[in-house]
């Protein structure tokens, strides 16, 4: 029995000595506690308990500790969206262990979240110099360059990702965006179609491919794709609106109206939805409904001259002359100078049809002040002079019109009439 006790004593002594040696090797018992707190902090981070993780790591002295401790402290701050502190500690981890690709990659992500794009780009490029095959860095750097409109360099990076990972639908999509910006539409179409094939639920690729066909007036195919995207996102007002635009281009007016009404219901704050509904009503000769829709659009965007102009046109067809003139004037007040001539012509037309010839003449003259080569204004000013029997000015104005009239067959009726009136005026003058 005594021998057994001695043996146990020796074991206990040996264990105590071994533990003492381990503590001495790392410093003292405080370091054991620190390591324990660091491990606890890392565990808390993995459980997404970021505030608790920061408390544990700070108590462990992580803010001046090892690369691992600094890294997880930074990650925990990042989990709380405190990216400035996150960047500080992850940067320290990178300085302590510059060969660790994971640390540098996370630093680049954090800098990008802070909006420090050039610094993020620098970290990605440093990382890729060490490991050119690190795909997440290739992809993210491509996205950063794309956002900076460096489409050529960005496309090269997405191509590198695709060569190594040919099923990467996001890289195909982003390469398509670059090809669109580089004015290579056919290449863009192939990229969007490939992205869509690889992931049939990726709505951005579907929408961009639909837009490609819409721009090329392939409205049936655009409609098919936009409707596919809408089935994936049935509450999207923008997609509902785009489907309506396709129906409108295909002259399926009832379907177009339903879509524009639905888009406006989904997002009542969008003036363009209401305005497009107004246009559809106008085109189908429902002028009262058109006025109501444009009034709603104007209530949402009072400074849009096109809305006032189109409302004025609807009023003029309804013979609401005062309302039409009021809206034409508002459109004029809001328009840029280079756009005014057409509005003045339309306003003058309302005055002319209602027999207000002096006001019609003044409006046509204003159109010519803005655009001296405006054929419509010059021709109808001539006709207006003629109507009020200002023969001398009518003849002079008809001559000015013929001087700017097109040489081809366009406006041939106007040219024939102008020549006829000049002859008639000259003939009457010769008899005097």
Please report the domains of the chain, with CATH numbers, ordered by start residue.
31-131 (1.25.40.10), 136-199 (1.25.40.10)
Give start and end residues of each alpha helix (H) in 60-116.
67-79, 83-96, 101-113
Residue 234 per-residue DSSP state: T
pTM summary value = 0.71
Nearest-angstrom CA–CA distance, 23 and 149: 56
How would you write the pLDDT of the chain (432 residues) with one tens digit per residue?
334 333 333 333 333 233 333 322 333 444 545 678 889 989 999 999 999 999 989 988 878 888 999 999 999 999 999 999 999 999 999 999 999 999 999 999 999 999 999 999 999 999 999 999 999 999 999 999 999 999 999 999 999 999 999 999 999 999 999 999 999 999 999 999 999 999 999 999 999 999 999 999 999 999 999 999 999 999 999 999 999 999 999 999 999 999 999 999 999 999 999 999 999 999 999 999 999 999 999 999 998 998 999 999 999 999 899 999 999 999 988 877 667 888 888 889 889 988 999 999 999 999 999 889 899 999 999 999 999 989 999 999 999 999 998 876 667 789 899 999 999 998 888 876
pLDDT at 410: 65
pLDDT at 34: 62
Nearest-angstrom CA–CA distance, 200 and 418: 62
- The neighbour count for residue 68, using CB atoms within 10 Å, is 16
Distances (CA, A) of 382 to 269, 405, 417: 45, 13, 11
Question: What is the chain's percent helix, strand, coil content, to nearest 5?
Answer: 80, 0, 20
Would you say 205 and 224 are in contact if contact means Cβ atoms under 8 Å apart?
Answer: no
């Amino acid at each position: 029995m005594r021998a057994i006790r001695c043996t146990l004593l020796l074991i206990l002594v040996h264990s105590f000595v071994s533990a003492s040696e381990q503590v001495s090797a790392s410093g003292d018992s405080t370091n054991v506690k620190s390591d324990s707190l660091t491990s606890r902090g890392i565990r808390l981070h993995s459980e997404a308990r970021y505030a608790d993780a920061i408390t544990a790591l700070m108590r462990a002295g992580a803010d001046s500790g090892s690369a691992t401790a600094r890294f997880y402290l930074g990650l925990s701050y990042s989990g709380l969206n405190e990216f400035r502190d996150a960047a500080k500690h992850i940067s320290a981890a990178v300085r302590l262990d510059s060969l660790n690709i994971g640390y540098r990659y996370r630093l680049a992500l954090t800098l990008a979240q802070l909006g420090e794009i050039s610094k993020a780009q620098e970290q990605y490029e440093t990382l890729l110099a060490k490991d050119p095959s690190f795909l997440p860095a290739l992809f993210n750097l491509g996205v950063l360059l794309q956002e900076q409109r460096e489409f050529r360099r960005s496309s090269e990076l997405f191509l590198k990702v695709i060569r190594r990972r040919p099923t990467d639908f996001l890289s195909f999509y982003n390469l398509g965006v670059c090809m669109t910006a580089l004015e290579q539409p056919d290449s863009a179409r192939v990229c969007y179609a490939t992205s869509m094939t690889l992931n049939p639920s990726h709505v951005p690729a579907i929408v961009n491919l639909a837009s490609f066909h819409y721009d090329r007036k392939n409205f049936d195919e655009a409609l098919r794709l936009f409707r596919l995207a809408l089935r994936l996102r049935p509450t999207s007002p923008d997609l509902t609106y785009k489907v309506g635009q396709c129906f409108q281009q295909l002259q399926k007016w009832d379907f177009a109206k339903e879509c524009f009404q639905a888009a406006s219901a989904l997002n009542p704050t969008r003036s363009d939805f209401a305005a497009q509904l107004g246009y559809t009503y106008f085109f189908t000769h429902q002028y009262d409904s058109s006025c109501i829709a444009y009034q709603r659009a104007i209530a949402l965007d009072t400074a849009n001259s096109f809305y006032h102009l189109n409302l004025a046109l609807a009023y003029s067809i309804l013979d609401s002359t005062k309302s039409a003139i009021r809206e034409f004037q508002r459109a004029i007040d809001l328009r840029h100078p280079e756009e005014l001539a057409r509005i003045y012509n339309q306003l003058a037309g309302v005055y002319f049809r209602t027999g207000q010839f002096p006001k019609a003449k003044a409006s046509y003259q204003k159109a010519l002040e803005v655009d001296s080569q405006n054929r419509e204004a010059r021709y109808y000013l001539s006709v207006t002079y003629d109507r009020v029997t200002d023969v001398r000015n009518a003849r002079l104005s008809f001559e000015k019109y013929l001087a700017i009239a097109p040489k081809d067959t366009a406006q041939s009726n106007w040219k024939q009439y102008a020549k006829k009136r000049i002859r008639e005026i000259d003939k009457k003058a010769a008899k005097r």
